[in-house]
Amino acid sequence: MTIIERTYMGVHCMGTTSLTRLIGHDPRIEMFKALRDSGHLPFFREMQSATAPTMSVEGRQMTMLGSNNYLGLSTHPAVVEGAARALREFGTATTGSRLMNGTIDLHLRIEAELAQWHGTEDAIVFTTGYQTNLGTIGALVPPGGPVVVDQYAHASIQDGCRLAGADLRRFRHNDMGSLRAALTELGSVVPVLVIIDGLYSMEGDFAPLTEVQELCDDFGAVLMVDEAHSVGLFGDRGTGVSEMAGLADRVPVRMGSLSKGLASTGGFVAGTRDLIDTIRGRARAFQFSTAGVPSTLGAALAAIQLARSDEGRALAAQSAENARFLRSELQARGVDVGSDPSVAGLSPSPIVPVYVGDDLRVIEAWRTLFDDGIYCNAAVHPAVPAGNALLRVCVMATHTAEQLEFAADAIAQSLDVTAAA
């Protein structure tokens, strides 16, 4: 019996108090505590240096393959200086919402830059990406209004629909027959908002955007694409999967994050002036939340400008090359990384899933890799469907081939797989 299995066997119930009766019994929380106490919890580990290909984690130097820092911008001198300059000019905080005293000129400069980059009339910046989806959905969908969402869409999208009181319909992941059935069932109810991720964060797969847009056109639905994990990486201008699919001008609501490839914190929506005015005037998550701290805005502005430059495009290309290389190295060692996006003519995703299936085996593999100096993410239910647990491995543009080869060897060894003869 492995230590993980012994941990599972040792899960115990809480004692009974008024608080515990209020909390209730949740086996997941009990498992969380048991794994934490045994040192095998793959979440909330302590990072002790800047996010980079090699960083300090709990007193050890490790190869970082669990970060969304896809372009490697979190330590770029221009981005660091952008944050420092904003800190010197505006201090540590705005202390107010965008509605009141929280809007500073950095917000307006970022919004103008984003709109120009995306070729839209306007853009709006939120404090976090999560709030961006909550606020945007709440601003666009009236109580009882129909929303059709991919079942794998990000939690912020699911929660935004619930908080809006929407008539939420889910379709099977990337299944166009299921989407068509959901739209058909709604019949003449218009307008319907359809929401998908451009790049899904756990398995790193792309939405079939052309087919989704065609169905939206057929049914008169409005499409919203969450580009949180794709902005800065795909398309000639780097604005995301919508642009890569040649649909940048046809997607009415384009959401993005400032906290992944753009190495800061926040989220945004780009679109028509009417759309942005509506969000600005209705989104409670925008109106009643303190604006982001100036340093994050300064970093975001510098990162956007870098992403739009020749250097940014070169970093995006290197991220794709690193993803292609790691995927190939893992496949050569017999590791299951799923289908290759390039077969469908798509750029490689920086998220390389290593399919394992069993939650226990994933946690064991994660701990083995952690001990070997590799940090990646363990994705278990409910982050992924039950029985589909995986190691979520993310590349940065700044990883070296040697680091990725070392990681491929370690991952294969942790799963005890060998290449087919």
Looking at residue 29, its pLDDT comes to 86
Beta bridge partners of 392: 353, 377
Looking at residue 7, its pLDDT comes to 54
How do residues 246-273 score in pLDDT, each as one tens digit? 999 999 999 999 999 999 999 999 999 9
| Least confident among 196-205, 302-311, 376-385 | 376-385
How do residues 364-414 score in pLDDT, each as one tens digit? 999 999 999 999 999 998 888 888 999 999 999 999 999 999 999 999 999
| Confidence class for position 2, pLDDT limits 50, 70, 90 | low
| Confidence class for position 189, pLDDT limits 50, 70, 90 | confident
Beta bridge partners of 149: 170, 195
| Confidence class for position 21, pLDDT limits 50, 70, 90 | confident
Looking at residue 245, its pLDDT comes to 95
Side-chain half-sphere CA neighbours of 339 within 13 A: 8
Measure CA 273 to chain center.
26
Distance in angstroms (rounded) separating the CA atoms of residues 243 and 379: 29
How do residues 132-188 score in pLDDT, each as one tens digit? 999 999 999 999 999 999 999 999 999 999 999 999 999 999 999 999 999 999 987
Beta bridge partners of 257: 267
Straight-line distance from the first to the last Cα atom of the chain, in angstroms, rounded to the nearest whole number: 31
Mean pLDDT, range 352-356, rounded to an integer: 96
Residues 6 or more apart from 273 whose CB is under 8 A from it? 121, 122
Contact 297, 91 (CB under 8 A): no
List domains and CATH numbers for the chain. Answer: 39-68+314-415 (3.90.1150.10), 75-307 (3.40.640.10)
Q: What is the pTM of this model?
A: 0.92
| Confidence class for position 4, pLDDT limits 50, 70, 90 | low
Looking at residue 219, its pLDDT comes to 95
Strand order in the sheet with 122-126: 122-126, 267-271, 253-257, 222-226, 193-197, 146-150, 167-171
What's the burial of 178, exposed, middle or buried (CB within 10 Å: 0-12/13-18/19+)? middle
Looking at residue 371, its pLDDT comes to 95
* 3-class DSSP assignment, residue 233: coil
How do residues 209-219 score in pLDDT, each as one tens digit? 999 999 999 99
| Confidence class for position 339, pLDDT limits 50, 70, 90 | confident
Distance in angstroms (rounded) separating the CA atoms of residues 239 and 236: 8
Contact 317, 398 (CB under 8 A): no
As a residue count, the chain comes to: 421
What's the burial of 15, exposed, middle or buried (CB within 10 Å: 0-12/13-18/19+)? exposed
Looking at residue 31, its pLDDT comes to 84
What would the two tokens of residue 229 be?
């994990």
pLDDT at 22 over 80: yes
| Confidence class for position 421, pLDDT limits 50, 70, 90 | very low
How do residues 78-90 score in pLDDT, each as one tens digit? 999 999 999 999 9
